[in-house]
Amino acid sequence: MNPSRARITSHWYLPLLLGILFIALGVWVLVTPLESFLALAIFFAVTFLISGVLEIVYAITNRHSIKKWGWSLAVGIVDLVIGIILVSTPALSMVVLPLYVGLGVLFRAILAIGWAFELRRREVPNWGWLLVIGILGLLFALIMLWNPLFGGLTIVIYTGLALISIGVFQVFLSLRLKKYRDLW
């Protein structure tokens, strides 16, 4: 057997195990939406906390190299404070998460609509599809912002489906690697 082939196929079962784990986690997320949403909200809060710490470290270590390092320090402090507040009050994190995601979707949708009109101005064909997607994203974002419960449920469903998709990919990859190994 080719040494290169042997290397990449010798542990073909690891993606299979990882895939099964991802699929199980995705199913758990979909079956237990409240617990899953709480876990996602806590992860969201911890992300702010870690981001704040890393931004502060970056600002301080680069204070002699970056002219306006104080802005990075300020952003880091704000993120750290937000992270501390959200970690200490998970219920607040559960309220903020759908609003944060909703605003992110809103801004991306507005950007998509702007790009659609830019492409139209440049006479790029099929620009209308981007406009439709942008408008749908805008409507979706407004619903998420208007009804945070819908937003939370949407986040849970998308997370569960994403985990399952990753798991299916991993299983498929492992089976392809095994087949590739067995050819020789």
- Separation between Cα atoms, residue 53 and residue 150, nearest integer Å: 32
pLDDT for position 8: 82
The domain ranges of the chain are 3-34+90-182
Ordered DSSP codes for 83-123 = HHHHHH-HHHHHHHHHHHHHHHHHHHHHHHHHHHHHHHHTT
Q: Which residue, among 76, 83, 73, has the nearest Cα to 52 in the 3D structure?
A: 76
Q: What is the pLDDT of residues 9-18, one digit of tens each?
A: 889 999 999 9
Q: What is the pLDDT of residues 12-52, one digit of tens each?
A: 999 999 999 999 999 999 999 999 999 999 999 999 999 99
- The torsion angles phi and psi of 176, rounded to 5 degrees, stand at -65, -40
CA-based radius of gyration for the chain:
22
User: Do residues 38 and 68 touch, judged by C-beta distance below 8 A?
Assistant: no
pLDDT for position 131: 98
Q: What is the pLDDT of residues 103-116, one digit of tens each?
A: 999 999 999 999 99
On average, the pLDDT of the chain sits at: 95
